[in-house]
Structure 1
Amino acid sequence: MTKLTLSGSASLKTDGGARPPAPFSAFELRLDLHPDAALPPAGDLPTVYTCRRPQDGGRFTGSEVERAAALQRALTACRPDDCIDIEWDSDFRDWPRRYSDIGFIMSYHNLSATPPDLDNILTRMTAEPAREYKIITAARTWQDIVAIKRLLADARRRVFFLTAYCSGPLGPVSRLLALAWGTRRLYLAAGTPLVSGMLTAEEFLKVYRAQRVTVGSRLYGVAGYPVERSLSPRLHNWMFELRNSPDLYVPLPVPDPDDFLTALPDLDITGLSVTVPLKEHLRSLCVSCSVEATRIRAVNTLTHGAGGWHGDNTDWTGFRDGAAGFLPAAGPVLVLGAGGSARAVMYALELAGIKPFVWNRGRERLERLLTDYPAVQPWNASHAVTVQAVINTLPHDAMVGLDEVGLGGHPPVPVFDLNYGSPASRILSDGTARRWPVRDGLSMLYHQARAQHRRWIGSDPPVSWDQARQLLLQALSERSSGGESFTGEAD
């Protein structure tokens, strides 16, 4: 089981008590941040003593002689279960041989890249005696994360303790995936992260609930770009926790689809939610697709089986169920956008017998949608047609409002927006300002996630919409009170 190690504070008393709350099993005392801290710290958790150099992500600015003096204090204070972290390429690499009665973590940090010779580096590190080993590199590509996974697999085969994951933009996901790949420790920030890619203890427990995860846990995630603000991890991990499941759902940022697709077979992912801009792109990955995904020509749900990836689309049922009781039962309606989400909406409207118009600024994508859905008509505001509802599938940051699509003088009608969060999309803001009935994409997010859960697990999650709504609104409120924008689309 991974040792969850709280880092960054001066003592264990993070909540006024004698020790951090469960599930933390260790405490890292950063002597480069807290040089005057009492040693050993109060409390009964094992302590990892660290005094990190700037090139390794630390704050110590003194000489190596001064750093040695700081670590000598730790040598004196060390208890049997405590450890001292020393860098493999530092002047202290011989300390494990000199002080054989002390537990050491031999560490290597490269915060600019993931070297191609990591295997050789680890082999040379393990030639030195230590209780544990630690490798942190900067991930520039998904292949870098695969390299870390292979190191962890090697450590399990050779039966030694290794902590390994990445820093940088791909750092958070590498750290979460490493839980299922056997990392010895996961360091979590007590407050502000100490390095890029570090998770805070709060998000680890609130968003990912990842204290449940063990080696071999099934992995799921939302693939797209950007995905860092998606609410899907909070929703799915809550569902897993309510089932007492160790499975984990993570954000999978994909700035380069080719890089991600090359790495995907080695990541041990069981299921994927697919969001913009990959809903049409990842369909080519599937060896089979559901009837719905084939008709829609876009996937938002992938499930890995013995034969490969099976593609499905739960956006259309998410829209259908999320809009139930809000949108009128008869058309016509106006759909804004012509991407994968718009296609799912068109399919749901087609099954319901509702006539749609469509507006899209780009002509090529619009033409493809019109070819696949001959009953759909392009919107022309000059024809003075009255629609019964507006459905917005455009990206949140699209600079398009109701006036731009020709609805400036239109009578009030319901507006359903697939986006959620703050600040609201232009369409939703315009509808609210004009006192039109509006609904954002939270209900769709829940219903399509529920359908995904059913496909992956085989049964519905034990969560009602009312329960999920409270969780999601709380998440939005926390982001808003923290001064952050928090936007997304139903994944």
Structure 2
Amino acid sequence: MIDSKTKLYCIFGKPVTHSKSPLIHNACFQKHHMNSVYLAFEIDEISDGVKAMRTLNIKGASVTIPFKESIMKYLDEIDEEALSIGAVNTVVNRNGKLIGYNTDYKAAVSPLRPFCIMNKKVCIIGAGGAAQAVAYGIHKEKGKLVIINRNKERGKKLASKYNAEFISMDKMNQTEINKDAINKTGIINADIIINTTSIGMSPDIETCAFPSTLLDSRMIVMDIVYTPLKTKLLSIAQSKGCTTIDGLSMFLHQGAAQFKLWTDILPDIKLMRQTIIKENN
């Protein structure tokens, strides 16, 4: 029961109505009999969210699109790994001091480790906060990065950080791309494709983050979008015989790491997964 002693946690984003974070975190609070509640706040400016944390004594926050980078300048302290990544997805309110962390990168590489990332060509679609974390993780695992992005300036900036190749989304989306052009980009030789953008996320479920003509059966295709679980990209990739990884694994692992930062309790990921599956049925 919510009362005057209830601790408040939340997620800041735009859009955020699709988020399953309230579902999994509230399930974990209930499991551990904690007088806490987790809510979703859709805001226009992250500065307002940070101000709310201070004013309302919000104990912890998840940060999602499009605020993972912009929130950093409003925090009191940032963890070294989050600083290296250049993005924050978790905030802990420690006695009024707001500290930023990033739980995305470990959660992103975890489902890829069984396939061996070292020396594999890994194409990351996007250059925002999630891409920053995924690129950091792939780089630590010694994968060969290629960055694909609409905004050339942002894409090139991320690529240069890891001495990676950059390819503009415009070039990828050319409908009459010929075989020579494909070979010149090197994309056809990619081992792993990872979509870190919101392309394909509900309600725009018919959009695909990567040209279907460039997918082949030997590729591993991962999408961090988890609403829907099988995005257009994953559906097409599966039809072409690719190995596919949906966004639920990364979502659950980064969420579990957040819960541990806030409460010092490592939650049951099986419970979190079952909670989402039950809600979807």
TM-score by length of 1: 0.50
- Aligned residues with identical type, % of pairs: 28
One-letter identity of the residue aligned with 1:419: V
Name 1:154's counterpart in structure 2: none
Instruction: Output the CA distance in 1 between the equivalents of 2:112 and 2:10.
Output: 25
Are the equivalent residues in 1 in contact too, given 2:117–2:138 (CA < 8 A)?
no
Name 1:361's counterpart in structure 2: 150
For the pair shown, the structure with the greater C-alpha radius of gyration is 1
Out of 289, 292, 299, which is 2:81 matched to?
Answer: 292
Instruction: Output the CA distance in 1 between the equivalents of 2:275 and 2:112.
Output: 19
Name 2:214's counterpart in structure 1: 407
Instruction: Output the CA distance in 1 between the equivalents of 2:182 and 2:96.
Output: 48
Out of 47, 53, 60, which is 1:271 matched to?
Answer: 60
Out of 235, 238, 242, which is 1:432 matched to?
Answer: 238
Instruction: Output the CA distance in 1 between the equivalents of 2:35 and 2:199.
Output: 33
What SS does structure 2 have at the residue aligned with 1:466?
Answer: helix
1:416 matched to 2:222: yes
Name 2:171's counterpart in structure 1: none
Q: Evaluate the alpha carbon distance shift between residue 231 and residue 389 of structure 1 in structure 2; reply closer, same or farther with a 3 A threshold.
A: same
Name 1:342's counterpart in structure 2: 131
Q: Evaluate the alpha carbon distance shift between residue 322 and residue 231 of structure 1 in structure 2; reply closer, same or farther with a 3 A threshold.
A: farther
Instruction: Output the CA distance in 2 between the equivalents of 1:362 and 1:275.
Output: 19
- RMSD across aligned positions (CA): 2.2
Are the equivalent residues in 1 in contact too, given 2:11–2:61 (CA < 8 A)?
yes
Aligned residues: 261
**Post-superposition shift, 1:215?**
1.3
Which deviates further from its counterpart, 424-433 or 299-308?
Answer: 424-433
1:382 matched to 2:183: yes
Match runs of 1:443-454 below 5 Å: 443-454=249-260
Name 2:177's counterpart in structure 1: none
Instruction: Output the CA distance in 1 between the equivalents of 2:34 and 2:52.
Output: 26
**Post-superposition shift, 1:417?**
0.7
**Post-superposition shift, 1:258?**
4.3
Instruction: Output the CA distance in 2 between the equivalents of 1:402 and 1:216.
Output: 48
**Post-superposition shift, 1:284?**
1.0
Name 2:8's counterpart in structure 1: 219
Q: Evaluate the alpha carbon distance shift between residue 423 and residue 273 of structure 1 in structure 2; reply closer, same or farther with a 3 A threshold.
A: closer
Name 2:266's counterpart in structure 1: 460
One-letter identity of the residue aligned with 1:425: T
Instruction: Output the CA distance in 1 between the equivalents of 2:68 and 2:15.
Output: 13
Name 1:280's counterpart in structure 2: 69
Structure 2: any 5+ residue segments left out of the alignment?
Answer: 168-180, 202-206
Match runs of 1:228-243 below 5 Å: 228-243=17-32
1:273-332 CA distances to partner (integer Å, 9 max, x unpaired)? Answer: 000001011111111111110011100000112352101000011112244435655411
Q: Which has the higher helix share?
A: 2
**Post-superposition shift, 1:475?**
1.9
Name 1:59's counterpart in structure 2: none
Instruction: Output the CA distance in 2 between the equivalents of 1:472 and 1:321.
Output: 20
Instruction: Output the CA distance in 1 between the equivalents of 2:195 and 2:116.
Output: 13
1:362-382 CA distances to partner (integer Å, 9 max, x unpaired)? Answer: 112112212322x22114843
What SS does structure 2 have at the residue aligned with 1:255?
Answer: coil
Are the equivalent residues in 1 in contact too, given 2:195–2:223 (CA < 8 A)?
yes
